[in-house]
Structure 1
Amino acid sequence: MGLMVACELGLAGVDVLVIERLTSIDPTMKAGYVNLATAQAFQRRGMLPRLRERHDAAVERMRKFLASKGIGNAAGGGPVGAHFGGIVVDTGLVDFTGPMFAHAGPAAGVILVSQQEIEALLNERAADLGVTVLRGAEVAGFAAEGDGVTVTLGDGRTVRGEWLVGADGGRSVVRKLAGFEFPGVDPEVTARQFVVDMIGHEKLRAGWNRTDGGVYLHGPYPGRVVTVEFDGPPEDREAPITPAELEATIRKVAGVDVEVTAIHSATRFTDHTRQATTYRLGRVLLAGDAAHVHSPLGGQGQNLGIGDAVNLGWKLAAVVQGTAPEDLLDTYTAERHPAGKWVLDWTRAQVAAMRTDARSQALRTVLTDLISTPDGATYVLAKLSGVLHRYESGNHDLVGAPAPDIELADGTRVADHCADGRALLLDLADNATVRDAADGWATRVRVLSIKPAHQVAWSAILVRPDGYVAWAADENPDMSALSVALRQWFGEPALRDSSPSEV
């Protein structure tokens, strides 16, 4: 998620260079789903309309595929959608009126956006922000010193910055060279995701299917198949994937003979899970798959990386510009490591529930019963959506949670006022004392005094640049707690912001 980190830094006025090994976007199908937390991150930067365009186009493709299978509607227990180990969540059971989703805002429902489309959007944004992307280059080595990092590229050139962020994937060169510990669990399954032209696909059932040979997913687009086999990891994960291999895995898992006539995208993946013990060593930081690897089951990889990026971006920018102390970066690992651990645990649990032995079948039956209840469906969808994730709480229930996207009296929403990347102090009760408290942070905290369009429980909310609540109040604001939160997250008041520096 290097591009997202770079865009957050560029938005803050930091001079940033992205070193990208590939010369163009990798067309291999990977993630195809964004959760609510990711959609809201894009909404806060003014990119939700472009995200929605991609989602709407994907929905139309999905509808055509389902129609070809004689299925009229994917919603409410259909073959595609949020799932836990292939147990699809019936959205008709989900309580969207409850507190978990009550203030989700217009980002809710923007789901079907591929990783390639996300990267294309971020490339456009990087160009708009003046972020330099050096394509066709890769890191060969680096030297981290007290005041910066010198990076040596594969062609012998060197570049220098104050900080280095390794967002270079699961086999991260930066992580290995820096010496980050990366413990985890070795793989036990072989899975493949591919998009192909094939003869005989009519016999493949749409959606998630579990058989004696494994598990497979067909759709939600023509030619897209995922197979999972439980008899060990691949002998050579990097070997070229052939039509014969894909025909064999479909035959084994689905019991259907097909002829693959063209491969448009194909990749292998396993269930190995690893996580760096810290996301920072000195002037080197990790984000995305460089910090954690896991199977893509449940569609959390891209979303986890975006969460890393928006958490790190504003903090690193503040440290570079001298408006916050360096120890602010310690909160990056403290906040994001638990989020990564949760994703790793859920992917491991999904593999356990997908196995075909008698014990796993019994576990799956119990889980299916639970997920088929309104409470179970609501909880699983809320977890996968990211709305239940929160950082360390404070003196108010809202602290550490994603900020509610309240509709305001002028027709705007809270997210509409976050596009500049600054924190937002929202005064909902016309309280001059609250507004005046942020005077010393004027360049870092935007103050907005406005009534909510509808009655809410809160009178004031301090929203961090990544959209999480740093302080909140109901009727009687605790001004001392607000002062502590302002200093904790945005440094001392009335500091003179330094000129943009390099990363």
Structure 2
Amino acid sequence: MKEATYDVIISGAGPVGLFLACELALAKCRVLILEKTDNPYSPLKQLPFGIRGLSAPTIEALYRRGLLSELEIHKRLKNPHTTAVQQGPRRQVGHFAGIPFHEGDIDISQWKHRLPSSTETNLITEMEEIETVLTRRAEVLGVEIKRGLALTSLHQTEDGVTVQSDEQSFHSLWLVGCDGARSIVRKAGGFEFAGTEPEFTGYSTKVDIVDPEKLKPGRNLTKEGMYLQSQPGFIVIQDFDGGAFHNSEKPITLEHVQEVLRRISDAEVTISALHFATTWTDRARQATSYRNGRILLAGDAAHIHSPLGGQGLNLGLGDAMNLGWKLAATIHGKAPNGLLDSYHTERYPIGAQVLDWSRAQVMIMKPNPESRALNSIIRDLMDTQDTATYMAGRVWGIFTHYDLGGTNPLVGYSVPNFEFEDGRKIGEFMIDGQGILLDFDTNPSLKTLANEYGNRIKYVSGRAKEQLGLRSALIRPDGIIAWASEGEPDLQSARQEASLWFTQLIS
């Protein structure tokens, strides 16, 4: 048997690969990231194309690992697609298929587990910023990052995985593909990638326009498709050609962009310079399994869909948060049976929901009478409080939930950020990635139970300002409530649940 140099090799140094590496390194795993590009920066990662909205689960994850305070852009940029006249209660804070929902229409009291001490429900950042923050943290934790090395082939055995990058080879116990929509790991690893074909070719461009006044600002549905002018010269276009141009791999010329823009906008605009252009589609596919032996997938390598709504980054970071502690426990021999397989069981349905959410948006944006009729109905519904609240909850990940059973309604949800009477918050106890047994009553039996798991479960006690009816709860390292009690705790059920996610110390 060849001795593994690393515990985990991650293909791809985007936000998902970097965050996963941080989670693994936090748990004392030896991690190598291979990234095909020499330069991590590109126009697509910078404002305005690189703008991303972070959802509630992502914000909570960054907060719980001490990373949220390092993000700066959200402090000066609330919503880049709104104007000054849209401020106040009608300020746009999101959209579904280009149909806006507004801050004043959202009834947050419907989200029972959101406390005043909770983190924000949504924040703005950019790809370049979040990658910079995660790279810095990964390097502090000892992650080795090799840029300019594309994974070209791999070989898996029962004991590990060997990967090839040109003439160099690397060996690890596990391999995780975080290498995007065209993932080499997914293709070479034998994963089935099932789904639907695209309806449109999307264009993201930076151009000089001689007569920009001919284009309307903001997002515009037309009889031929959609165009968005977020800032002068930054144009996004959707051409419902079934993805034909994107799939043709033809060069994107000034003349072509001008022709498409004129046709979609029905305006005779003239482009004098093309500085940057890329294409994308709404192809929606998902790996039928996120694991094949010692190879796993996360992020766009596991699922692709239209960027409408900006949920791809959040979905991928959720994968990383779910996978990291489970894979680390497996590596260290501290994983109960089935723990690693629960990664696919829990994350696959979340991915499937996002793909359907994306498909639904595309359907009501199509330039045909049926879609326009649906669009009109959704637009009317969006002006109601219940619909705006539901849409915001979906877009911001408020309803993200794992089916873990249990009788308490909070089981399977992210733990509310309980604030203790002394001012501490539960999220502050999660920076080291341990599980937590939360006890509002300082019950000696629960403390004894936590001690049986050593540093796998941290015992945290004290009264909170708002307890949502709880007296105790078991929190996984990813912040998900695995067990909760509203009355005197049933120690047998608590012990049984703890054994599903953690292994006890060997006596």
Fold match (TM-score > 0.5): yes
TM-aligned CA deviation for residue 37 of structure 1: 1.2
Percentage of pairs with the same residue: 39
- Other structure's SS at 1:161 match: strand
Structure 1 equivalent of residue 391 of structure 2? 380
Deviation (angstroms), 1:77? 4.4
CA distance in 2 between partners of 1:382 and 1:388 (Å): 6
One of 274, 292, 297 as aligned partner of 2:308: 297
How far is the alpha carbon of 1:236 from its aligned partner? 4.5
Once the two structures are TM-superposed, the CA of residue 427 in structure 1 deviates from its matched residue by: 1.1
How do 1:197-276 and structure 2 match up within 5 A? 197-219=208-230, 221-237=231-247, 238-263=249-274, 265-276=276-287
259-268 or 34-43: which moved more? 259-268
Is 2:54 the counterpart of 1:34?
yes
Q: How does 1:60-459 map to 2 (within 5 A)?
A: 62=80, 71-74=84-87, 76-78=89-91, 81-100=93-112, 102-103=114-115, 105-154=117-166, 156-219=167-230, 221-237=231-247, 238-263=249-274, 265-325=276-336, 327-395=338-406, 396-459=408-471
For 1:363, give the aligned amino acid: L
Q: Name whichever of 381-390 and 29-38 sits farther off.
A: 29-38
SS at structure 1 position matched to 2:37: coil
My pick for the range that moved more, 455-464 or 33-42, is 455-464
Query: More deviation in 351-360 or 447-456?
Result: 447-456
Aligned partners of 1:85 and 1:297 also within 8 Å = yes
Distance 1:375 1:326 in 2: 42
* Residues 266-306 of structure 1 deviation map (CA, whole Å, 9 limit, x = unaligned): 32111111101000010000000000111101111001000
> 1-side partners of 2:116 and 2:465: how far apart?
15
Residue of structure 2 in register with 1:10 after alignment: 25
Partner letter of residue 55 of structure 2? Answer: N
Matched residue count: 485
Q: SS in structure 1 opposite 2:459?
A: strand
Distance 2:474 2:188 in 1: 39
Q: Distance in 1 between matches of 2:34 and 2:19?
A: 13
Q: Deviations over 1:425-469 (max 9, x none)?
A: 111122222222111112111111121023531111211111111
Q: Say which SS state the counterpart of residue 388 (structure 1) adopts.
A: coil
Q: Matched residues in 1 for 2:329 and 2:479: separation?
A: 16
Cα offset, 1:101, TM superposition: 6.1
- Aligned pairs for 1:469-484 (under 5 A) are 469-484=481-496
Q: Which runs of 5+ in 1 are unaligned?
A: 497-503
CA distance in 1, matches of 2:50, 2:337: 35
Partners of 1:327 and 1:401 lie apart in 2 by 20
**Cα distance, 1:30 vs. partner?**
4.7
In the alignment, the residues of structure 2 paired with residue 245 and residue 405 of structure 1 have an alpha-carbon distance, to the nearest angstrom, of 51
CA 196–452 in structure 1, closer or farther in 2 if over 3 Å, else same: farther
Counterpart-to-counterpart distance in 2, 1:323 and 1:243: 57
Output the CA distance in 2 between the equivalents of 1:40 and 1:146.
36
**Contact in 2 for aligned 1:170/1:290 (Cα 8 Å):** yes
User: Normalized per residue, which structure has more strand?
Assistant: 2
Distance 2:273 2:57 in 1: 36
In 2, the alpha carbon distance for the partners of 1:216 and 1:425 equals 50
- Give the corresponding residue for 1:57: 76
**Deviation string for 1:3-40 (max 9, x for gaps)?**
11111001111010001111122422355221111111
Structure 1's 263 and 103: CA in aligned 2 closer, same or farther, altered over 3 A?
A: farther
Correspondence for 1:500: none
- Native 8 Å contact 1:93 1:378 kept in 2: yes
Task: Please tell me whether the aligned partners of residues 407 and 452 of structure 1 are also in contact (alpha carbons under 8 angstroms).
Answer: yes
| Equivalent residue letter for 2:61 | A
Deviation at 1:143, TM superposition (A): 1.2
Shift of 1:106: 4.9
Secondary structure at 1:348's aligned position in 2? helix
Cα drift, residue 307 of structure 1 = 0.5
1:426·1:448 contact (CA, 8 Å) conserved in 2? yes
1:44 aligns with 2:54: no
**TM-score calculated relative to the size of structure 2:** 0.91
Q: Deviations over 1:204-247 (max 9, x none)?
A: 3333221112112221x443322112232133444333333333
Does the aligned pair in 1 maintain the 2:36–2:149 contact within 8 Å?
yes
Going from structure 1 to structure 2, the CA distance change for 1:443 and 1:245 (only over 3 Å counts) comes to same
Contact preservation (8 Å) 2:433, 2:477: yes
Alpha carbons 1:164, 1:284 under 8 Å: kept = yes
Q: What residue identity is the alignment partner of 1:225?
A: I
The Cα of 1:201 is off from its aligned counterpart by 2.6
State the distance in 1 between where 2:469 and 2:373 align. 44
CA distance in structure 1 between the partners assigned to 2:142 and 2:173 by the alignment: 18
Decide whether the 8 Å contact of 2:336 with 2:500 is kept in 1. Answer: no
Unaligned runs of 5+ in 2: 1-15
Structure 1: distance between partners of 2:214 and 2:409: 51
Contact kept? 1:48, 1:107, Cα under 8 Å:
no
- Is contact 2:106–2:388 with CA below 8 Å preserved after alignment? yes
Closer, same or farther in 2 for the Cα pair 1:301/1:471, shift >3 Å? same
Change (3 A) 1:236 1:357: closer
Distance 1:183 1:315 in 2: 26
